[in-house]
Amino acid sequence: MVRILLNGAAGRMGRVVAELASQNPNTLVVAGVDAMAQGQDLGFPLFDSLEACTVQADVLVDFSRPAALKDILPYACEHMMPVVLATTGYTPGDLERIHRAATRIPVFRSANMSMGINLMIDLLKTCAGALGESCDIEIVEAHHRGKADAPSGTALLLADEINSVYQGGKEYTYGRHSKTDKRGPREIGIHAVRGGSVVGEHAVMFLMDNELVEVRHSAQSRSIFAVGALKAAEFIRDKAPGMYSMRELLAEQKEVTKVLAERGVAMVSLHGLSGWKQAVAALDSLAKARISVDMISQNGSELSFSVQSGDRERAVATLRPAFPECQVESAGKLAKLTVQGVGMEGQPGVAARVFGMLMGLGMEPKMVSTSVTEITLLVDEAQEYRATDALAKHFGIA
């Protein structure tokens, strides 16, 4: 069981966290800190400051305000206690202090503890990657009348994640009441609405000519943030010092989340190259012929790459006269399999399991490309369904 020291225990979120922790067999709030909780009975010892706390705990969870950071980090570092920061509105200086503390203790920080918001991020990055510069992006968020910071930390988180797809090339525009010029192509608009008892609404719009794609998340209860914080406390309890977020938490739960297949792929190989410069020249000749290359493998005098089946003959016809001293081979009727998952980054052995399964099915990949979160390979098109089905079932996503 994870023993939690809850900072901001008497606040709205603190009370929700404490209630849900008491219903969870893996977590328990053993003490709370809140200067405004004098004389209140929340079912556990209450202290008006961290320094006054005399109860031992495993993880410190903070649902209070940014100003509390000046007390939280020294206390957590002194007691070598992991900390979950579920508060938004930190300044750049605050963030520097958080990262310094993470060199000594494990720190879990997320602008939004909702599992749904963090899944939404993957959808937004997929949209941004697919639409590129052909769209205008606007973010609208709404919260209750008592929320102090605007825009919300979640809105900024969504903007930052989208902007990462554009290599940081977008600029944020906060409202347009003072704008007198037209919308610029590099803008991400961010707009805040405050009123009523709205828990949290976030909508991201990708606006194109004659089309609108909207991704929306609605928080209908504060309990979703409390559930996320408790999962974070369980996750970070035994971690090494460092910065952690929902990305790592979700990754640890499931290493592979997608198994994709694309048919109509061909492979072309060029044997006998004199070195890397010739390989670059070969790729350049394909580009001039407007032939798109996907996977690339270069090993000494051999260059292999994948193209769409319809470009196979043109690729061979382009390379043979340009490199008469080399042997050009091609293979068609292939399928590209892609195994994806952020959990692959922290789970060793995924690649071995993928290739072991394919070998067990009598399949030999034609080409392989890997990254920390993705494995891509080519197999015979006739084997694609069997391979995809077996991998999906093995990783529990069938």
d(CA 339, CA 365): 13
d(CA 186, CA 133): 9
pLDDT at residue number 22 = 92
Q: Count Cβ atoms within 10 A of the Cβ of residue 338 and give its class: 0-12 exposed, 13-18 middle, 19 or more buried.
A: middle
Q: Model confidence over 277-321: pLDDT tens digits?
A: 899 999 999 999 999 999 998 888 999 999 999 999 999 999 999
Strand partners, 189: 138, 173
Is it true that the peptide bond before 66 is cis, omega within 30 degrees of 0?
A: no
Confidence band, pLDDT 50/70/90 cuts, at residue 346:
low
Confidence band, pLDDT 50/70/90 cuts, at residue 177:
confident
Catalytic (active site) residue 70: no
Q: Model confidence over 217-256: pLDDT tens digits?
A: 998 888 988 999 999 999 999 999 999 988 788 777 677 8
- Averaged over 378-395, what is the pLDDT? 92
pLDDT at residue number 149 = 84
pLDDT at residue number 209 = 95
Catalytic hit among 99, 147, 170, 191: 147
Catalytic hit among 70, 79, 125, 143: 143
pTM, two decimal places: 0.62
d(CA 27, CA 8): 17
d(CA 106, CA 101): 8
Catalytic (active site) residue 394: no
**Chain position carrying tokens 């900024």:** 156
Asked if 339 contacts 388 with a C-beta cutoff of 8 angstroms, the reply is no
Closest to 167 measured CA to CA, from 122, 135, 129: 129
d(CA 327, CA 144): 68
Name the least confident of 16-25, 151-160, 207-216, 339-348.
339-348
